[in-house]
Structure 1
Amino acid sequence: MSHAAEPSRYFVPTPSFWPLVGSGALLLLAFGAVLTMNSVANGAWVLLAGFLVLLTMLVGWFGRVITESEAHLYNLQVDRSFRLAMAWFIFSEVMFFAAFFGALFYVRVLAVPDLASPAQALLWDGFANTWPTAGPAAKELFTPMHAWGLPAINTALLLSSGVTITWAHWGLIEGKRTHLVAGLALTVLLGLVFLSVQWVEYQEAYDHMNLKLTSGVYGSTFFMLTGFHGFHVTLGAIMLMVILARAIKGHFTPERHFAFKAVAWYWHFVDVVWLILFVVIYWL
């Protein structure tokens, strides 16, 4: 869309009921989670209803935004608002993972050496300052997950997906929609393969390595960090599927395609987080 064809005023959407639907979904999710964790009858159904209502809200609300965008109701000022919102969203995700990385740093650099110090010998005599460890009160042995196996394969997969989505972006800018669609499709495929390999890794950890979420401080930090990252990969793959469907329908132009850029930013963020995870969780 050319600058001359842009709306002269900032677009203000009409009142929407989707925020109310989203609030209802969050209420159902909260109640469902509490009921399920306390083994209350039908709690799982309430939780499922929350997810279904949330999915309905996402499809309806984002579908409305897509319709407005394709109707050329957004000008450059709206585009800047979207960019700022996405930047703050990714920053919030950075802080989310920073909290877990901070917890891991505290455990490895401060807590474990302190528990193994002579000052704590009366409480934890014989506890050694080694990592990985389940902690001084651990009773079950486990085998830590090594870097040069499935994690290394997943690293290669995510790095490759960063290349394919960049190729897709290049195809969009150059007006080569075949490259755009192919690059997006390959990125989605690589993301799904990553999740499949992670599932196999978790099965290996539980069935053969006795490494579980309950395996002390190492198990909890390992599964919290890698599990939340897997959740973000799942979310990113879903967003990429939506962008792929839109690209196939002919959406986006070389000049105006922020929805594509937003998802690409998010995917690159997921890549960077995994590289840090690979180093501090698997390698060091």
Structure 2
Amino acid sequence: MSVADDSTDDHGHHLPAVEDWPKGFGEASWWPFITAIGAAGFYIGAALYVLGRGESALVGPMVGPGVFIASTFAFLAGLYGWVYHAFVAAYWSNDGGGSTALRWGMIGFLGSEIATFGAGFAYYFFIRAGTQWSTAASAIPDGFLGSLVVVNTAILVVSSFTLHFAHVALRKGNRSRFLALLVSTLVLGVVFIGGQVYEYYEFIAHEGFTLSGGLFESAFFGLTGLHGLHVTMGAVLIGIIMVRGLRGQYSADRHTSVSTVSMYWHFVDIVWIFLVVVLYAGSVA
């Protein structure tokens, strides 16, 4: 049974873009393009916000925020359609384990993510070496917030291990251990997101460390916020495979989605290590 066959008749689920379009390329989806347009709109909105400030503003002060909000809706809509197409639809076909297309697709996606974060780091190093750096080197508060960063980093690293061993347990046929470690991974991921939100609250409410505070602040919130968005998306994907696992799916030879989500989660873990070294530890260098 094809994906198109079981997407509507048997389960009542609408699967977008199941037609053979463009012709000759098999099943294709336009949801990644919607997601990319929304993501690009974040940067456009931020640029328009900067251009709308000051006495010689080139655009109205609400143009940038308006574009950013519209881009948020486009990004979330595209992400919903993309996740549904790539993962939820496969729920009904019980996720074959021999497909390498999804793994290579994830590798290609992670390659684009490396380029995205690489551009962010390049921006940071550019302003770090510039003459406008001023007092940004002492902008990261010490003490309690420093301890929070250490704890949050440990949580994310541990979550990467729990997901890895969950995958190992599944491939060995130990479903109970797989599900227990998968739930642990999701809980750790949610705790990490909560820790980052609390850190933002402390920075903004008590330390006066805000997005508009200067060059370093904009780079800090831009990079850590982008990473937080990726962790949130990873937590959603882990939640999806957890529900599928609880419904009895996956086995030692049927675990493609688990493998690809694991690749993604390890990636965001590695990026966070770079962020801690460059932004937190590097800010006092």
Q: Same fold judged by TM-score > 0.5?
A: yes
* Paired residues of 1:83 and 1:262 also in contact (CA < 8 A): yes
Pair 29,98 (structure 1): closer, same or farther in 2 beyond 3 Å: closer
* Paired residues of 1:29 and 1:46 also in contact (CA < 8 A): no
Pair 170,211 (structure 1): closer, same or farther in 2 beyond 3 Å: same
The alignment of Structure 1 onto Structure 2 pairs a total of residues equal to 241
For residues 44-80 of structure 1, the C-alpha deviation after alignment (integer angstroms, 9 at most, x for no partner) is 997786567546524642332333454x5x8x4xx22
Q: Which one of the candidate residues 81, 90, 93 is aligned to 2:101?
A: 81
Deviation at 1:198, TM superposition (A): 0.7
* Paired residues of 1:240 and 1:263 also in contact (CA < 8 A): yes
- Determine the C-alpha separation between the residues in 2 that align with 1:172 and 1:190: 20
RMSD: 3.4
- SS of the residue corresponding to residue 130 of structure 2 reads helix
**Percent of aligned pairs with the same amino acid:** 31
> Which amino acid counterpart does residue 98 of structure 1 have in structure 2?
G
Partner of 1:168: 166
Pair 49,266 (structure 1): closer, same or farther in 2 beyond 3 Å: closer
Which structure carries more relative contact order (alpha carbon 8 Å, separation 6+)?
2
Partner of 2:121: 101
For residues 197-232 of structure 1, the C-alpha deviation after alignment (integer angstroms, 9 at most, x for no partner) is 111100110111111111111100110011111000
Partner of 2:11: none
Deviation at 1:257, TM superposition (A): 1.0
- Determine the C-alpha separation between the residues in 1 that align with 2:274 and 2:103: 25
In structure 1, stretches of 5+ residues that fail to align are 1-12, 116-126, 134-142
* Paired residues of 1:195 and 1:233 also in contact (CA < 8 A): yes
What TM-score comes out, normalization by structure 1 length? 0.72
Task: Decide which structure has the larger Cα Rg and report it.
Answer: 1
Asked if 1:213 is matched to 2:232, the reply is: no
* Paired residues of 1:158 and 1:271 also in contact (CA < 8 A): yes
- SS of the residue corresponding to residue 256 of structure 1 reads coil
Deviation at 1:244, TM superposition (A): 0.6
Pair 106,223 (structure 1): closer, same or farther in 2 beyond 3 Å: same
Q: Which one of the candidate residues 119, 134, 137 is aligned to 1:132?
A: 137
For residues 4-39 of structure 1, the C-alpha deviation after alignment (integer angstroms, 9 at most, x for no partner) is xxxxxxxxx7548994677778889999997xx875
Partner of 2:281: 283
Q: Map 1:1-284 to 2 at 5 A.
A: 15=20, 19=29, 39=62, 50=74, 53-54=77-78, 57-58=81-82, 60-62=84-86, 63-70=88-95, 76=98, 79-108=99-128, 110-112=129-131, 131-132=136-137, 143-146=139-142, 148-284=146-282
* Paired residues of 1:22 and 1:53 also in contact (CA < 8 A): no
Residue range with higher mean Cα deviation, 44-53 or 203-212? 44-53
* Paired residues of 2:20 and 2:28 also in contact (CA < 8 A): no
